[in-house]
Structure 1
Amino acid sequence: MQSLLRRTLLKGCTAVAALAALSSPALAQGEWPSKPVRIIVAYPAGQSTDIATRYFAEKLTHALGQNVFVENRPGASGNIGTAAAARATPDGYTLVMGANGTHAMNPALFVNPGFDAEKDFDPIVLTALIPFAISAAPNLPVNSLSDLIALARSKPDKLDVAIPSVTGQLVLEMLKQQNVPLFPVKFKGSADAMTAALGGHVPVLIDTVAATRTQLGKIKPLAVTTLTPLASMPGVKTVSEQGLPNFTLTAWNVLMVPKGVPAPIQARLGAEMKKILELPETHKALADLGFERAQPKTTAELATWLQAERRNFAQLIQAAQMKPE
């Protein structure tokens, strides 16, 4: 009787162990992905981060054999969507396209953004660098940044600037440091800011090259914030070339996962993204969209680089005396 009881208990334990194995991370890793994967973008549709993420989502859909889709969760300068990503189950089915705004600037701007940019996420890959452009509305009588600076200084209380992001706000604050009196009018996203500029309601726009390029021929780009001119903005000089030496600022995107996603899933995701980033068609697509190609980095190099970027942006924010919205 005791022997029969012992055999029954052993069978029960074996069944429990098998059941546990079926739900173990190891099996989940082996099957990943077995359902659609979402990438949270903490900005509205049409922002530069959204534009690039949709391209990568399409490529990942083919590479992974599962639908990869973008979920826009805008609000609070990107804090709402980023906090939602930080709280997501770390099973590989929620990714987030981190940006310098959410993962380098907001930690320095907000006492409690709702997440820890370093501790709550694991970076997978640096996808692109994002230059900014300073542009004029069609009805503003300027054709270069030098013209705009002269006009602003001659009318020190008149010129408003459409600002759709915290990075755009930082560019504005850096201009103000150089005695260029401009006044921010903040918008929820690029689409609204561009509409205001094209309609002549706000005479100046500071936004990404990616967003600006969508209206080339209507909006007047005056300068880019890179060290050298961009092929994607032919004929447009840098800020440094137009009277403000050493003026440079470039944003970025990094694909990330919530902390705790199993290493094999992270490795698979990183390997697929590396292949996508190496495709000639990706190089062309990013350039056509107004992005710059980022140099590949190992996981360790990327983590170190992000730490340095957080320090650099914090210093810029402090020097510009920039305040949160």
Structure 2
Amino acid sequence: MKHPRSTLSPWTALSRRTVLGLGAGLGALALGAMSVATPTPAAAQSAYPSRPVTLVVPFPAGGSTDLVARLVASRMTGVLGQQIVVENRGGAGGNLGSAAVARAEPDGYTILMGTVATHALNPALQKKMPYDAVKDFAPISLLALIPNVLVVSNDFPAKNVKELIELLKAKPGEYSYASSGNGTPLHLSGELFKSMAGVDMVHVPYKGAGPALVDVIAGHVPIMFDNLPPSLEQIRGGKLRGLAVTTKERAPSIPDLPTIAETLPGYETYSWNAFFAPAGTPKAVIDKLNAASLAALKDPEVSAKLADLSATVVGSTPEELATHVKDELAKWAPVVAASGARID
């Protein structure tokens, strides 16, 4: 029995085989091209950064936080090979800019200059926070500590911390202290002092540290807790009497001024600045940012300018910063509760 002859010509069969072969070859080429064009996550991280990085400062320009941010960012630009662009996004006591970074893409191209306010005080002061200070951020590095200072007007009778405590205990509620505002780090420095020393003095909040300092110099309010940099010039110029700095150790910029802890053991407050990224940022990216920030802090010009601000350079690991934030939250929550301060 003869088999039926195929209706396809040899040329038609060849053409079909050729097309199928070409299709398979082109498919392989396409897959190969895709594997070359689409980098793996590891490759993308190793190329980081490939464009400018935005550093959000959640306070207006010109303050100590902004100055530290711009100083460190300028040196990190050279280390990373991409510009670090500082963006001031103030509002809500630092919450506005911080919340924006918490919601940003976790790719390392948006980072935050966090402070004691954004990551320790605001969570204790506000019932409804727009972010979680621990869960919504990946720590990068604790950069620097900036001391606060206890100052009094020149005609105030107490000449040191011991005399101040004795005076306040003898006349509870008779004296007042100024701060930069309700719930600010300077206000809570005063509340911590009251709690630890067992004294009573009346809090007078101002709309900023500048107006408060003017009134203390004039003697309208006798006592104030201030950031050291703006008060330092007034102390040196004889317009204010500095009683003590609030850090554990004396400030190098004014080493003759004692610490509060020398009279009141365990007392310590300061402003601090640290870099954070959104939670979920890859570890390789965090490590690069950490290394760049540490390199910037070691630059002689940067360290000298930070010293001019009375800042103590830290330069921590991400893990050390994470521990620092948790410790600060635990420290300030009871102080805020005892003060009765709320911002809602």
For 2:35 and 2:53, the matched residues in 1 are separated by 29
Report the CA distance between 1:186 and its aligned residue.
3.8
By how many angstroms is 1:11 displaced?
A: 4.2
What is the aligned partner in structure 2 of residue 83 from structure 1? 99
The corresponding residue for 2:276 is: 256
**1:92 and 2:108 matched:** yes
**Corresponding residue to 2:328 among 301, 309, 317:** 309
Question: Which moved further from structure 2: 277-286 or 82-91?
Answer: 277-286
8 A Cα contact 2:142 2:317, kept in partner: no
Larger CA deviation: 296-305 vs 270-279:
296-305
- Look up the match of 1:276: 296
1:126-163 Cα deviation digits (max 9, x unpaired): 21122211223567676545565577665835635132
Q: Distance in 2 between matches of 1:214 and 1:28?
A: 49
Moved more, 138-147 or 207-216: 138-147
Change (3 A) 1:279 1:185: same
How far apart in 2 are the matches of 1:55 and 1:227? 25
Match of 1:239 in 2: 260
Count of matched residue pairs: 319
Could you tell me which amino acid in structure 1 is paired with residue 45 of structure 2? Q
Q: Match of 2:105, SS?
A: coil
Equivalent pair of 1:134/1:207 in contact (CA under 8 Å)? yes
8 A Cα contact 1:126 1:302, kept in partner: yes
SS class of match (1:266): helix
Cα distance in 1 for partners of 2:110, 2:212 equals 29
Q: Specify the SS of the correspondent of 2:288.
A: helix
Kindly indicate whether the alpha-carbon contact (under 8 Å) linking 2:99 and 2:130 is maintained by their aligned counterparts in 1: yes
Measure how far apart 1:16 and its partner are: 4.5
Q: Which 5+ residue runs of structure 2 have no aligned equivalent?
A: 1-15
Q: How does 1:182-197 map to 2 (within 5 A)?
A: 182-187=202-207, 189-191=208-210, 193-194=212-213, 197=216
The 5 Å alignment of 1:1-325 reads 1=16, 3=20, 4-19=22-37, 21=38, 25-137=41-153, 144-145=160-161, 154=171, 156=173, 159-164=176-181, 166-177=184-195, 178-187=198-207, 189-191=208-210, 193-194=212-213, 197=216, 203-213=222-232, 215-216=234-235, 217=237, 218-241=239-262, 244-294=264-314, 297-318=316-337, 320-325=338-343
Whole-angstrom CA distance in 2 between matches of 1:129 and 1:84? 24
Alpha-carbon contact 2:148-2:247 (below 8 Å) kept: yes
* Contact kept in structure 1, 2:148 and 2:227, CA below 8 Å: yes
Does the CA contact (< 8 Å) of 1:170 and 1:322 recur in 2? no
Change beyond 3 A, Cα 1:90–1:200: farther
- Sort the Cα spacing of 1:5 and 1:194 in 2 relative to 1 into closer, same or farther, 3 A: farther
CA separation of 1:322/1:54 partners in 2, compared to 1, >3 Å: closer, same or farther?
farther
For structure 1, the residue ranges without an aligned partner over 5 or more in a row are none
Output the amino acid matched with 1:47. G
Deviation sequence 1:253-303 (CA, Å, 0-9, x none): 221111222322222221122223334444433332111233x54433443
Tell whether the 8 Å contact from 2:77 to 2:84 is kept in structure 1 after alignment.
yes
- 2:199 partner letter: N
How far did 1:115 drift?
0.8
Residues 1:9 and 1:192: Cα distance change in structure 2 (over 3 Å): farther
Q: Is the 8 A contact 2:187 2:205 kept in 1?
A: no
TM-score (norm 2): 0.78
> Could you tell me how far apart the structure 1 residues matched to 2:89 and 2:211 are?
17
8 Å CA contact retained: 2:180, 2:186 = yes
Normalised to the residue count of structure 1, the TM-score between the two structures is 0.82
Deviates more, 1:169-178 or 1:75-84: 169-178
The change in CA–CA distance for 1:16 and 1:283 in structure 2 (over 3 A counts) is closer
The 1:304–1:257 alpha-carbon spacing in structure 2 relative to 1, beyond 3 Å, is same
Q: Relative to 1, partners in 2 of residues 1:192 and 1:70: Cα closer, same or farther, differing over 3 Å?
A: farther
Identity in percent = 35
Larger C-alpha radius of gyration, 1 or 2? 2
Looking at structure 2, the residues matched to 192 and 90 of structure 1 have their Cα atoms a distance apart, in angstroms, of 40
Cα distance in structure 1, aligned partners of 2:54 and 2:268: 33
* C-alpha distance 82-281 of structure 1, shift in aligned 2 (>3 A): same
Change in 2 beyond 3 A, CA 1:72/1:211: farther
Look up the equivalent residue of 1:183 and give its one-letter code. H
| Alpha-carbon contact 1:277-1:283 (below 8 Å) kept | yes
Compared CA separation, residues 265 and 208, structure 1 to 2 (3 A): same
DSSP 3-state at the match of 1:323: coil
Offset of residue 219 of structure 1: 4.2
SS in 2 for 1:184: strand
